[in-house]
Amino acid sequence: MKFEIFVSLFATAITSAILTPFIRKFAFGIGAVDTPNKRRVNKISMPTIGGLAIFIAFSFATMFLLRNQIPTQKLWGLFGGECIIIAEGMIDDIFELRPRQKIFGQLLAGLEVYFVAGVRMKYLTLPFIGIWQFGWLSLPITLLWIVAIVNAVNLIDGLDGLATGVSIIALTTIGITGLFFLNMANVWVAIMIFTLVASMIGFLPYNFYPARIYLGDTGAQFIGFMLACFSLYGLKNVTFITVIIPVIILGVPITDTVYAMIRRKLNRQPISHADKHHLHHRLMQMGLTHRQTVLVIYGIALVFSFIALLYPLSNILGAVLLTVACLVGLELFVEAIGLVGTNRQPLIKCIHQVVVNTTSSNKMKKR
């Protein structure tokens, strides 16, 4: 059985690699093309909807090669949501939808998997407090999670291979950590995760710098949607540790999204306002090349993944300390690169003031 799975994963990657050039031609044919403008880094028109190749390869593998490994209801329930998000993404890549129209499609896909595939959070177990039953809040909390992750992945899709590579790292880590929490009856979740990873690996050579095709909203939203769904399957009966792990794993897109919202709020701009101050923009403005920026963010994603892998080995106190250390380190990094603004560095200024005061105090004592 293990051999069959490995062969299927290899076949999935090959299928994705073979399909991508055809999807590239198809994108030009239907007008799914990203033309250069002030916000784009591409200098020539680039075909989008590259995520369609990932979707087809993934669906072929799960529907045919691995159909005996996945519960039928879960398989078809997820497939319905996938089709909705892919259709919405393709329409956006061709005609460019408004933000509200995008969110409507994401909510529709979320409702489908919530009621049909059972993708939902029911309750949360908090340390020292106990179990908090979500009740009717289960639906809005689940939809909020799905929409947030979909848009977080979509936001980091600004450089060649960036969203694809970061998502491969995140999904692989979710698959590994999931083995700590999934019982044998739910191993199919890990199988689907690694199948999606395989389909993305087949696509990555065409998407890495210099890219020949983009993921487009089709791919970024599809990957974000699957990331959200797979992480929620591990969060049905959630504890503090199982909640924090997916958040840490998705640290790169979540950080970029959260600080983009803070930045726009501080600048009194609409949340949906587009700018060139995202994580990848800031690194390039600091002098890194396109390829170097992507590789640096891959490295950051790997650091988040390594931290996430420590949680299953930690007790509650260790997990809390690990979370605090991670948040402090993240804030220092964000302030250092000016993600919110070059003049907004409260923690760095505070540390600097403490160092200055300590130095002055020591000098006074010596006198």
Query: Coil, strand or helix: which one is 136?
Result: helix
* Tokens read off for 80: 């319905």
User: E-strand spans in 73-161?
Assistant: 123-126, 130-133
* Tokens read off for 317: 């106190």
What is the rounded distance in angstroms from the CA atom of residue 102 to the CA atom of residue 92?
A: 8
What is the rounded distance in angstroms from the CA atom of residue 180 to the CA atom of residue 343?
A: 43
What is the rounded distance in angstroms from the CA atom of residue 327 to the CA atom of residue 41?
A: 30
DSSP state of 61: I
Angle between helices 187-207 and 2-30 in degrees, nearest 10: 40
What is the rounded distance in angstroms from the CA atom of residue 151 to the CA atom of residue 148?
A: 5
For residue 315, say whether it is annotated as part of any ligand binding site. Answer: no
* Tokens read off for 323: 């979370």
Cβ of 367: how many Cβ atoms within 10 Å? Answer: 4
Cβ of 355: how many Cβ atoms within 10 Å? Answer: 10
* Tokens read off for 321: 């300390």
Q: Which residues have a Cβ under 8 Å from the Cβ of 184 and sit 6 or more positions away?
A: none
Query: Coil, strand or helix: which one is 123?
Result: strand
What is the rounded distance in angstroms from the CA atom of residue 211 to the CA atom of residue 179?
A: 34
DSSP state of 318: H
* Tokens read off for 286: 């600091």
Q: Which residues have a Cβ under 8 Å from the Cβ of 296 and sit 6 or more positions away?
A: 283, 288
For residue 154, say whether it is annotated as part of any ligand binding site. Answer: yes
Can you say which residues are annotated as belonging to the binding site for Mg(2+)?
A: 154, 217
Can you say which residues are annotated as belonging to the binding site?
A: 154, 217
